[in-house]
């Protein structure tokens, strides 16, 4: 088999990249370990994705947004950040920049389903499901692979899009800085008595971090971050006891709460690849940068990475250049690093500061929020960053 581009990983980043490259005269193959039936009907994984206005436009341009059901889209009007038991909050309001909302929330399941359906319409994209790569070598002229079914495959370019723990990245000899935060994140859907008013919460408590992602009606995605031993105790509670415990942890601010469906847990590990391109190879999505979810930028950054790579490759193609040439791939790598490194570092700093429960740090955290709340230009800049759509 031969292909112009081989994408490893049929998650949203990999599928969106295939869609972005489709229709331009390139042959594209996606290698994915999961069966096609699972990709077509992905299970609910508890995650709600906060989409900026720019990401919404990208998904619309790719044909994904049009496939979401109305009930899949929950408006995100404002956001607030709280510290410890203090009622004082930093409020980021969409109205500050003349918008009705900062963004919206869409289930990860819905995004995956739409991405798979959209790529299924592309005749120049072939999915090689239930396969993995068992051998990979890159030369200045081509990429040679052998798949788990024994079939060989040659390509002009290989793209790793197979999660923050990417095996393809390792096979390419690209290392990554991994930051294990030593915490476990639990996500679940909950009904609650009092309205969230479509406002997202990020609540840095003492010994825990809580987030509330407002869904339609009096429903929300609740996110709880704890040390693994404490999380084991939470997951062992029956649904009723769990709901009462979440009411307590939210300090009763939402009234009575009820668990809806399953609870899902994830380890919190940040990842930043040492480089985003190599010999006839590139990284996108979480394989390039795996963000801590506290700033809700991970998916948006991954979506930007695939667009940035696609734009770079198509510009080279239309100008008669080799899409796998080092200069082409380094152009993408530099642009992606400029876009991601400051955000990744700022997020890690924020996490370290707001999960440090020493007395002096608690005071610093509270003072920081009060200063930020009274800095109108700062809050306006944040709101504008979330709501702007690139032209």
According to DSSP, residue 94 is labeled: G
When computed from its CA atoms, the radius of gyration of the chain, rounded to whole angstroms, is: 22
Does residue 189 form part of some domain? no
**CATH number of 277's domain:** 3.50.50.60
The reported pTM is 0.93
Please indicate, yes or no, if residue 11 is contained in any of the structural domains: yes
In a domain, 134, yes or no: yes
Question: Quick check: is 159 in a domain?
Answer: yes
pLDDT tens per residue, the chain (391 residues)? 899 999 999 999 999 999 999 999 999 999 999 999 999 999 999 899 999 999 999 999 999 999 999 999 999 999 998 888 877 778 888 888 888 999 999 999 999 999 999 999 999 999 999 999 999 999 999 999 999 999 999 999 999 999 999 999 999 999 999 999 899 999 999 999 999 999 999 998 888 999 999 999 999 999 999 999 999 999 999 999 999 999 999 999 999 999 999 999 999 999 999 999 999 999 999 999 999 887 778 899 999 999 999 999 999 999 999 999 999 999 999 999 999 999 898 888 877 776 777 777 777 777 676 666 666 665 576 667 666 665 4
User: Are the C-beta atoms of residues 225 and 208 closer than 8 Å to each other?
Assistant: yes
Q: Does residue 115 sit within a domain?
A: yes
Residue 357's SS3 state is: coil
CB 132 within 8 A of CB 120: no
> Tokens 């024994």, residue?
150
Residue 81: inside a domain: no
* Owning domain of residue 304: 2-44+107-178+270-372
**Cα–Cα distance for residue pair 312/330, rounded to 1 Å:** 10
Instruction: Count the domains in the chain.
Output: 1
Maximum Cα–Cα distance across the chain: 64
Environment class of 180 (CB within 10 Å of its CB; exposed 0-12, middle 13-18, buried 19+): exposed
3-state secondary structure of 50: strand
Instruction: Give residues with Cβ within 8 angstroms of 351, minimum separation 6.
Output: 181, 292, 294
Q: Where are the alpha helices (DSSP H) in 228-297?
A: 228-236, 239-249
Residue (of 293, 200, 210) closest to 246 by Cα position:
210
Task: Give the 3-state DSSP-derived string for 278-332, with helices as H, strands as E and coil as C.
Answer: ECCEEECHHHCEECCHHHCCHHHHHHHHHHHHHHHHHHHHHCCCCCCCHHHHHHH
| Distance separating alpha carbons of residues 88 and 91, to the nearest angstrom | 9
Q: Is residue 95 assigned to a domain?
A: no
Euclidean distance between the first and final Cα of the chain, in Å? 39
Q: Could you give the residue ranges of the DSSP H alpha helices within the chain?
A: 12-21, 36-40, 53-62, 108-119, 167-171, 228-236, 239-249, 298-318, 326-354, 359-373, 376-387
Q: Are 218 and 196 in contact (CB under 8 A)?
A: yes
385 domain residue, yes or no: no
């Amino acid at each position: 088999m031969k292909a112009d581009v081989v994408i490893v990983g049929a998650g949203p980043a990999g599928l969106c990249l295939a869609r972005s490259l489709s229709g331009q005269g390139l042959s594209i193959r996606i290698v994915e370990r999961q069966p096609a039936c699972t990709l077509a009907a992905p299970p609910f994984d508890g995650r709600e994705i906060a989409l900026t206005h720019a990401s919404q436009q990208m998904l619309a341009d790719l044909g994904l947004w049009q496939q979401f059901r109305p009930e899949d889209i929950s408006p995100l009007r404002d956001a607030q950040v709280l510290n410890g038991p203090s009622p004082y909050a930093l409020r980021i309001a969409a109205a500050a920049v003349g918008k009705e909302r900062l963004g919206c929330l869409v289930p990860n399941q819905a995004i995956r389903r739409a991405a798979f359906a959209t790529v299924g319409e592309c005749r120049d994209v072939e999915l090689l499901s239930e396969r993995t790569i068992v051998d990979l070598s890159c030369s200045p002229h081509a990429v040679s692979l052998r798949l788990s079914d024994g079939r060989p495959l040659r390509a002009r370019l290989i793209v790793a899009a197979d999660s923050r723990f990417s095996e393809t990245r390792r096979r390419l000899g690209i290392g990554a800085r991994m930051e294990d935060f030593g915490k476990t994140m639990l996500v679940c859907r909950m009904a609650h008595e009092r309205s969230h008013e479509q406002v997202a919460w990020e609540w840095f408590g003492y010994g825990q971090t809580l987030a509330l992602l407002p869904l339609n009606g009096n429903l929300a995605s609740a996110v709880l971050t704890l040390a693994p031993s404490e999380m084991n105790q939470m997951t062992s509670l029956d649904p009723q006891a769990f709901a009462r415990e979440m009411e307590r942890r939210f300090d009763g601010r939402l009234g009575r709460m009820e668990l809806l469906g399953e609870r899902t847990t994830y380890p919190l590990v940040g990842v930043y690849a040492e480089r985003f391109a190599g010999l006839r190879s590139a990284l996108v999505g979480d394989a390039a940068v795996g963000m801590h979810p506290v700033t809700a930028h991970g998916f948006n950054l991954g979506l930007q990475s695939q667009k940035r790579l696609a734009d770079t490759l198509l510009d080279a193609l239309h100008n008669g250049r080799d899409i796998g040439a080092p200069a082409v791939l380094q152009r993408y790598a530099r642009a992606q690093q400029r876009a991601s490194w400051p955000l990744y570092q700022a997020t890690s700093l924020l996490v370290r500061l707001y999960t440090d429960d020493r007395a002096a740090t608690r005071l610093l955290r509270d003072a920081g929020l009060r200063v930020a709340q009274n800095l109108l230009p700062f809050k306006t800049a944040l709101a504008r960053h979330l709501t702007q759509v690139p032209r």
